[in-house]
Amino acid sequence: MIATRLHPDKQSAAQAVAREIAGLIEIRSKSGKATVLGLATGSTPLPLYAELIRLHRESGLSFRSVITFNLDEYEGLGADHPQSYRRFMEEHLFRHLDIPAANIHIPDGLTKDAAGHCAAYEAAIRDAGGLDLQILGIGRTGHIGFNEPPSSCETRTRWVHLDEVTRRDNSVFFGDLNQVPHGALTMGVATILEARRIELLAFGEAKADIVARAIKETPSDGCPATWLQRHPACTFHLDAGAAQAL
């Protein structure tokens, strides 16, 4: 069952989710526990990351006890590539916080051993105690992370082939479709579903159809976001545009 929360705009959604993350970090750090966050890239979480940075600067929210695992990374792109998700996260979040570098995990797009690297990524999430809270966006193909259709609910962190719709959507960041990688490493659907809480953000009319499908369609490999219906604590945070087909 997916809960939906309609927000007046993306800033309000970002503030609500940032408050939730801040509350989680504060409660857990009081009892000496780390907070394990699953993070997304793309344009959707940008206002959320801006709000977390604001809370750090203005309200003293510390990320010293936070451990992060990003959902995905493009194949073949390393930290020095401007479109790598490693670079994106540094620029839009990590370099502005007090999170220890050793606590940050992002799949390595340059790995020569994808299977071994992905198995180690799964093990690192388990060793950290599992994901307390996962942030998600949603792609127009119904992908969460880069789990393109078809993706079963049993998939784990692995190499995937990117859908052409996704490559075209993301070409705005690269400036040229030919520069967009064809593959990526992504957490699996099962990996995501094991997070104790999931907060998905979607803004704008372009997301309305896929948001409605994710919530209303019978769960299937053909629309991986439908698997979120099986999660006991998943909320979609929407603005009016993204909610208009509900």
Residues 118, 79: Cα–Cα separation, whole Å: 18
Helices (H), 60-113: 85-92
Residues 180, 156: Cα–Cα separation, whole Å: 23
Tokens of 83: 């479109």
CB of 105 to ligand F6R, least distance (A): 13
CB of 38 to ligand F6R, least distance (A): 10
Site size toward ligand F6R (CB under 6 A) is: 14
In the region spanning residues 108 to 137, those forming contacts with ligand F6R, defined by CB under 6 A, are: 137
CB of 42 to ligand F6R, least distance (A): 3
Residue 23 CB-density burial (10 A; 0-12 exposed, 13-18 middle, 19+ buried): exposed
- Does 139 engage in binding with ligand F6R (CB under 6 A)? yes
Site string for ligand F6R, 142-171 (x = CB under 6 A): -xxxx-------------------------
| Chain-centroid distance, C-alpha 12 | 19
Which CB sits closer to ligand F6R, 117 or 143? 143
Residue whose C-beta lies closest to ligand F6R: 137
- Does 72 engage in binding with ligand F6R (CB under 6 A)? yes
- Does 38 engage in binding with ligand F6R (CB under 6 A)? no
Is it true that the peptide bond before 82 is cis, omega within 30 degrees of 0? no
Q: DSSP per residue over 5-57, as a string?
A: EE-SSHHHHHHHHHHHHHHHHHHHHHTT--EEEEE--SSTTHHHHHHHHHHHH
- Does 191 engage in binding with ligand F6R (CB under 6 A)? no
Which CB sits closer to ligand F6R, 27 or 198? 198
Among 24, 40, 61, 223, interactor with ligand F6R by CB under 6 A: 40
Residues 139, 225: Cα–Cα separation, whole Å: 9
- Does 86 engage in binding with ligand F6R (CB under 6 A)? no
- Does 69 engage in binding with ligand F6R (CB under 6 A)? no
Torsion sign over Cα 31, 34, 36, 37: positive
CB of 167 to ligand F6R, least distance (A): 11
- Does 107 engage in binding with ligand F6R (CB under 6 A)? no
CB of 229 to ligand F6R, least distance (A): 17
129's CB contacts (< 8 A; 6+ apart) are 34, 36
Among 11, 12, 15, 43, interactor with ligand F6R by CB under 6 A: 43
Residues near ligand F6R (CB under 6 A): 40-44, 71-72, 137-139, 143-146
